[in-house]
Amino acid sequence: MNTQTDAFLKDQPATPVDVAQWAEVGQSHPHESAALHVLGEATYTDDIPEAQGTLHAALGLSQKAHARVRAINLDAVRAATGVVAVYVASDIPGTNDCGPIIHDDPILADGLVQYVGQPIFVVVADSHDNARRAVRKVVVDYEELPAILTPQAAHAARSYVLPPMHLARGDVESAFAIAAHKLSGELLVGGQEQFYLEGQISYAIPKEGNGMLVQCSTQHPSEMQHVVAHALGLHAHNVVVECRRMGGGFGGKESQSALWAAVAAISAQKLKRPVKLRADRDDDMMVTGKRHCFHYEYEVGYDNDGRIVGARVQMVSRAGYSADLSAPVATRAVCHFDNAYYLSDVDIRAMCGKTNTQSNTAFRGFGGPQGAIAIEYILDEIARNLGRDGLDIRRINFYGRNESEGRNVTQYGQIVVDNIIHELVDELEVSSAYRQRRAEINAYNASSLVLKKGLALTPVKFGIAFNVTHLNQAGALVHVYTDGSVLVNHGGTEMGQGVNTKVAQVVAHELGIPLALVRVTATDTSKIANTSATAASTGADLNGKAAQNAANKIRQRLAEFFVTLFGGDNSADITAVTFAAGMIQMGEYSISFPDLVQKAYMARVQLWSDGFYATPGLYWDSKTMTGHPFSYFAYGASVSEVVIDTLTGEWKLLRADALYDAGASLNPALDIGQVEGAFIQGMGWLTTEELWWNKDGKLMTHAPSTYKIPAISDCPQDFRVSLFKNRNVEDSIHRSKAVGEPPLLLPFSVFFAIRDAIASVADHRYNPPLNAPATSEAILQAITAVEAMAAG
């Protein structure tokens, strides 16, 4: 052993660290950009300093829902102030397509327009304002065609963007034949605008030799790279897409950032100047797709205890004019019709109605909420029909507690191995004082004529993984610099959810260094190739594992090097080396991380590494709709108490209790923030957010003046969110569970509490016909309907 090294190592201050206790994961660290967010210093795409010569683009939109374009006169547009260029479909150098799966999504409409708001041409001008003003000077001669606007109309016309899907198990007909009770009905659940605070935007900057850099607000940089390359007629290696952060995506930037990236890049390539395309809010809402609205027809048989013995449902979504992600959305709906319940005999059909409206796309939950709300609606009706509490009926239908209890295989064949819904709901029932409040509410309603209260508890079980198996992969790159600071890149994108914070925590933990030493930078297709969208709630699961893999390789090399420093060489020594609190230690030897790194560099040890992860065990047969599509399930439940005004239909959420299973949470503060945000967002979907198209197919609710997302005043005064104490049975990143989407289903309890309050006007004897969103108008109509039923 080199005595100098020996002396140095032993000289290090004795570490007071309890290595076993040290952890950077599982702690509530603030979001890595929290300070920048509140200071207004966080750079969004539109904040990037503009390069010299930057031009601004605007889109010319179809004014008809379905029409042939006979002629388009752009003379006045070209002559308008500040206009530099005008492009139509035939000007696109490569492929005129930005569809993610099926290529039925033109970037610019070519002769046929299929919805009000479809882009037909691009104006590039010296300013954003001039571009937008010029657009309006177009004269288009349309030959109008019949338009289909609703899922019901699409279904009647057998107008679908894809072939219908069918999943069946058991024999529903026989089940119905022996069922003590039957019910059937219809339900319509509206769509939802993503309403990210930062709208769609792309800024394309031409580079030498056919290069193109696109700064894009996107959840899916690799897909943007492909779309741009195809549109420009270039290879992927010519195009770099970068995204430091989004001001929210919520699924709306999974595929539909492509149009904006392509248009900016096409314009930039043709003009050889940087071009920015930023949508104003109205255009964003007119052009882009939203959550799919769903129409359901259902038929269910159940026994005297309220247990479902057979269920048949047909779901038709409003896909819009093209396929976009409608197929995987419908698949997820089919795979979430069970929610937390075992359905022995079941028959599910799903169709994606082709309509002359915006092409609907991903939105937090991705069809999961639409699948699960249908069974909740059905259980809500069964409970009322039997005069029982909704919680009792839900409980009796839950998946079995464990294997020996049976009832643990989903309709698509995946075994539910970790069912904790019983324990979780038991805990919430007590902590929310559910039974006591039920009694109090009954007493209140008995003496309150105009105001009526309602209460509901609803559970959530949500499958985690992309339901398209190959997408479940991720890459990462970890650089350790010679001063001991660490830079991480991974394929995930930051949209406010905190994926960068969680990935940094994982890397810090792996290297045993404080989080402050780790920095995560912009997502960049030139650093990590072939990434999946940051979606399906898998951002931290996949990229956390990939980054852990990269950091672990470096840790391994450092451990080996550390052992050689004092003359050890065996693998037992290497595995005994600990990394914690910035110190590397083995027996009496210890050294600080920066010191070891510096020495390792001098000894020519590689201090950076790539990492990769592919979720194991997943498979899916799309023909039979069976397999093992999910890595695991995340669970949750919530209780909501509302009061409604039976004369005006106004309502208020008085108290909400939510309990969510984030496994061994990587960062409880971030996870609670996700649960709170998703809860309120889901509540907006089911109550105030109403998309309304006029008879000509024009979306009339295309701004916050007419489309009401929840405000701070809509949040419950009493909001109790907690995480269920648990560890993932699957080997997920540090045994955590995903949190991004599942909590969006928690506010089902708000909707059913409203329905409960409405039902109270006739002693809960009738099922209020209530579609979502339960706007004040819809609540009032449902009250009138229930009163009419009671009057006979």
Contact residues toward ligand HPA (CB under 6 A) are: 254, 325, 328, 332, 362, 366, 466-468, 471, 533, 535-536
267 binds, among ligand MTE, ligand HPA, ligand MOS, none (CB under 5 to 8 A by kind): none
Tokens of 643: 């009061």
Which residue, among 206, 251, 240, 278, has the nearest Cα to 47 in the 3D structure?
Answer: 278
* Pair of tokens at residue 435: 């039974």
Q: How far is the CB of 266 from ligand HPA (least distance, A)?
A: 26
Q: Does 535 bind ligand MOS (CB under 6 A)?
A: yes
The 549-578 site mask, x for binding ligand MOS (CB under 6 A), equals ------------------------------
496 binds, among ligand HPA, ligand MOS, ligand MTE, none (CB under 5 to 8 A by kind): ligand MTE
Binding partner selected for residue 476 from ligand MOS, ligand HPA, ligand MTE, none, CB under the kind-specific 5 to 8 Å limit: none
741 is catalytic: yes
> Minimum distance between the CB of residue 222 and ligand MTE, rounded to whole angstroms?
16
| Distance of alpha carbon 118 from alpha carbon 157, whole angstroms | 23
Tell me the sheet residues that pair with 590: 585
Query: Toward ligand HPA, which CB reaches closer, 234 or 373?
Result: 373
Q: Of 574, 611, 577, 579, nearest to 593 (Cα)?
A: 579
Burial bucket for residue 443 (CB in 10 Å: 0-12, 13-18, 19+) = exposed
Please give the full DSSP string across 769-790, using - where no structure is assigned: ---BS--HHHHHHHHHHHHHHH
Of these partners, ligand MTE, ligand MOS, ligand HPA, none, which one is at the site of residue 467 (CB under 5 to 8 Å by kind)? ligand HPA
Nearest C-alpha neighbor of 654 from the set 712, 717, 748: 717
- In the bound state with ligand MTE, the residue whose beta carbon lies nearer, of 198 and 381, is 198
Give me the residues paired with residue 293 across strands: none
Closer residue to ligand MTE, CB minimum distance, 114 or 222: 222
| Binding piece for ligand MOS, criterion CB under 6 A, among 62-70, 360-368, 428-436, 444-452 | 360-368
Choose the one of ligand HPA, ligand MOS, ligand MTE, none that binds residue 633, judging by a C-beta under 5 to 8 angstroms depending on kind.
none
Q: Which does 332 bind (CB under 5 to 8 A by kind): ligand MTE, ligand MOS, ligand HPA, none?
A: ligand HPA
Nearer to ligand MTE by Cβ, of 738 and 753: the residue is 738
Instruction: Report in angstroms how near the CB of residue 464 gets to ligand MOS at its nearest.
Output: 11
CA gap 506, 500 in Å, rounded: 10
Q: Does 290 bind ligand MOS (CB under 6 A)?
A: no
**Residues within window 201-220 making contact with ligand MOS, judged by CB under 6 A:** 219
Half-sphere exposure of 789 (CA within 13 A, CB side): 18
CA 215 to chain centre: 22
Q: CB nearest ligand MOS: which residue?
A: 251
Cα-Cα end-to-end distance for the chain: 96
Q: How far is the CB of 540 from ligand MTE (least distance, A)?
A: 5
Which position's Cβ is nearest ligand HPA? 536
Torsion-angle region of 617 (φ positive above 0: left; ψ -120 to 50: alpha; else: beta)? left
Task: Give the count of residues interacting with ligand MOS (CB under 6 A).
Answer: 10
Q: Based on CB atoms, which residue is closest to ligand MOS, 534 or 609?
A: 534
With contacts defined by CB under 6 A, name the span among 97-105, 196-204, 356-364, 486-494 that binds ligand MOS. 356-364
Using DSSP's 3-state secondary structure scheme, residue 270 falls into helix
What one-letter code names the amino acid at 785? A
Strand (E) or helix (H) holding 578: strand 578-580
**From candidates 87, 321, 341, 363, binder to ligand MOS by CB under 6 A:** 363
R_g (Cα) of the chain, nearest Å:
28
Minimum gap (Å) between residue 418 Cβ and ligand MTE: 20
Cα atoms in the 13 Å half-sphere on the side-chain side of 673 = 14
Structure tokens at 399: 């998946």
CB of 674 to ligand MOS, least distance (A): 12
Cβ-closest position to ligand MTE: 539
Residue 489 CB, nearest approach to ligand MTE (Å): 15
Residue 250 or 707: the one with the smaller Cβ distance to ligand HPA is 250
Give contact residues for ligand MTE (rule: CB under 6 A). 248-251, 364, 492, 495-497, 499, 534-540, 674, 677, 738, 740-741
Chain center to CA of 315: 21
What sign has the CA pseudo-torsion 387, 392, 394, 398?
negative
Site for ligand MOS, residues 229 to 268, rule: CB under 6 A? 251, 254
Please give the backbone phi and psi of residue 230, each rounded to the nearest 5 degrees, phi first.
-65, -45
Residues 6+ apart with CB under 8 A from 574: 556, 559, 560, 563, 568
* Signed CA dihedral, 357, 361, 365, 366: sign only: positive
**What residue type is 258 in one-letter code?**
A
Tell me the pairing of strands 608-614 and 473-480: antiparallel
Residue type at position 402? N
Distances in Å between the Cα of 100 and the Cα atoms of 45, 222, 225, 360 are 23, 11, 12, 12
Shortest Cβ 540–ligand HPA spacing (Å): 15
Question: With CB cut-offs between 5 and 8 Å by kind, which of ligand HPA, ligand MOS, ligand MTE, none does residue 67 bind?
Answer: none
The catalytically annotated residue of 198, 690, 741, 787 is 741
- Residue 682 interface partner, choices ligand HPA, ligand MOS, ligand MTE, none, CB cut-off 5-8 Å depending on type: none
As measured in angstroms, the least distance from the Cβ of 361 to ligand MOS is 8
- From the list ligand HPA, ligand MOS, ligand MTE, none, partner contacted by residue 495 (C-beta under 5 to 8 A by kind): ligand MTE
| Nearest CB to ligand HPA, comparing residues 199 and 463 | 463
Catalytically active residues, by annotation: 741
